[in-house]
Chains A and B, each alone.
Chain A
Amino acid sequence: MRYILRKLITLLVTLFLISLLAFLAFAIIPGDPAVTLLGVNATPEAILALRQEMGLDRPVFVRYVEWLGDMIFGDMGRSFAHGHSVRELLGDRLIVTGSLMGLSFVMMLGIALPVGLLTAGRQRGIVHWMVTIINQMMMAVPPLFLGLMLTFVFGAVFRVFTPSAFVSFRESVGGYLFYMLFPALAIALPKSAMMVRLIRSSVREEMGKDYVRTAVSRGCAPRGVLYRHVLPNIAAPVITFSALTLIMMITDSIVVEQVFSIPGAGRILISAIGTRDYPVVQALVLVIAALVMTLHALADVLCRLVDRRITL
């Protein structure tokens, strides 16, 4: 319990530091948001008025405290480019990206766990080589290219789905999930190859240890040893890897959203970066940072719960 509390405090302190960085970085860069918004031909009076309205005339520190306070209560400010509140702008998009990541993650586990566990006992022979070769190839395929290929194969050759005809989950949940199947697959496949590789190499390493030899020489069936003794011991690295993968899936979904024209958080991040729409970028940085830090912390806690050898 004390451990979890300590973790939580570190998490909050880190997030606070990140928020400070995210705010200051965008506050000190050259270029006046008011000028960007009104264009270079705007009259000085108009710019001055807008600066006042946006609160840009006050000290950075005051603005930071205000911004952070608003953020904590869910008010993410106003987008420069769209004029909407950032929260309105991000709401549905965060759900889209979140569900894309979730779907990819479930898919990855659905592929990697069966394949990894069923082939873990076979560390030589034909199965071993087949799995190793397919894995090595699959790992080298970036989701962005896999996405293009899936679009071509399932969108143009087999015509299973209509590319770039995104269905919002507000219209039809089934249609939405069906459309998301393909981008999720593009993210999940390379990651499941990595996970299969991790499971197999962890099992191989663990199988060479003394306790396994003891168990086998006492007469336990090798298969039983694998499932009862070895697998619980490789749970910790697999959990850590899962958390890292989920974090890497953030970048993957940004890219894949672009491939499948999915209106998610990644797309708005890219367009906000392009138009220098800082309130949107800042808000997303904070949301992503919170997600990343939480996942790291969660993985640590889970590992300690699953693997008793790691002391609390």
Chain B
Amino acid sequence: MRRRNVTLLVGASLTTMLLLIVVIGQLLWHFGPTELNPGRLLGPSAVHPLGTDHLGRDVFARVLDGAGTTLLVALGTVLIGAVGGLLVGAVTGYYGGWLDEIVMRISDGLTAFPSILLALVVVSITGSGMGNLVLILGVLFIPSFARVARGEFRRLKSLDYVKRARVSGASNGRMMLVHILPNAMPVFLSTVAIGFNNAVLAEASMSFLGLGVQQPQVSLGRMLTDSQAHLFTAPWIAVSTGVTIVLLVFAFSMLADGLQAGRRG
């Protein structure tokens, strides 16, 4: 009998739930994230379930908006990282040779450093902002995806079924796309979930330091910066923002663990 994968179940349902709340909540919630209400720094109440901030803005609306931005940054980052990583990993893993050697050396060098640290240095040259943040983090995430894709492509290309396809005259492109890629996906997917996890954390840290998403836009990291000034008078702002980050990270990491466990059977 197959044991049920509790981790995957929890991770997948929590992730879906959070995404739905963020997307639908922004459409339905009766306060706008920039709408100024009469009461400033109000505690949680029936009208404002998470209270209001120093300008009287509804914290729940802002958390939804901020989480939306953070998830958008994470989506962009993971998209660039995963597509780039898949391309690089597929080519180097499938063909091998000197190109593989060079690319892997470079990615070894890059992964030696925490990506936030590299992002900080790059931001000091390019300047901050949401677009730059997504681009920089995305490119910095490529090596970690490439490594996984490369490993899978290397492993699968020497399996019998792929060799059989080669004997039947399949082209390199067909072998990679039709025969190897689908089988590399399960492993790659769990890396994608980890990528989301890391991207959310990276966005929060970078924006908190003032080097990510900039002023009129809200993100979870930016909100934490703003909440710091009112930590003692209105702790609910920091708490609701922080708990949102924790929930997102928790959901993604459970999803990643679940996908990984499911692979082992």
Contacts and interface: CB of A to CB of B under 8 A. Distances in A.
B209 A142 contact: no
Interface string A19-59: 00010011001000000000000000000000000000000
Interface in B234-248: 235, 238-239, 241-242, 245-247
Kindly state the interface size class of chain A when it binds its partner: 35 or more
B28 interface: no
A140 B246 CA distance: 5
Contacts, number: 99
A68 interface: no
B232 interface: yes
B98 interface: no
A144 B208 contact: yes
Given A29-B125, A259-B228, A273-B123, A293 B208 contact: no
B224 A148 contact: yes
Interface string A134-147: 00110111101100
Nearest to A275: B124
A288 interface: yes
B114 A250 contact: yes
A219 interface: no
Contact of B117 (A22, A251, A259, A272): A251
Interface in A146-191: 148-149, 151-152, 155-156, 163
A289 to B, nearest CB: 8
Contact of A273 (B208, B211, B242): B211
B238 A152 contact: yes
Nearest to A266: B209
B235 to A, nearest CB: 5
Contacts of A259: 228
Given A144-B224, A270-B211, A292 B232 contact: no
B116 A251 contact: yes
B204 A144 contact: yes
Interface stretch (B32-40, B87-95, B154-162, B249-257): B249-257
Which of A29, A151, A251, A296 gathers the greatest number of chain B CB atoms within 10 Å?
Answer: A251
A26 B113 CA distance: 19
B120 to A, nearest CB: 6
B228 A148 contact: yes
Contacts of A293: 112
A25 B125 contact: yes
Contact of B121 (A145, A151, A274, A281): A281
B201 interface: yes
B209 A254 contact: yes
A151 B242 CA distance: 14
**Among all A-B residue pairs, the 4 with the closest Cβ atoms:** A145-B242, A273-B124, A140-B250, A140-B249
Interface of B: 109, 112-114, 116-117, 120-121, 123-125, 201, 204-205, 208-211, 224, 227-228, 231-232, 235, 238-239, 241-242, 245-247, 249-250, 253-254
18 contacts: A25-B121, A25-B125, A29-B125, A139-B253, A140-B253, A142-B242, A145-B224, A145-B241, A149-B239, A250-B114, A255-B209, A259-B228, A270-B120, A273-B121, A273-B211, A292-B113, A293-B112, A296-B112
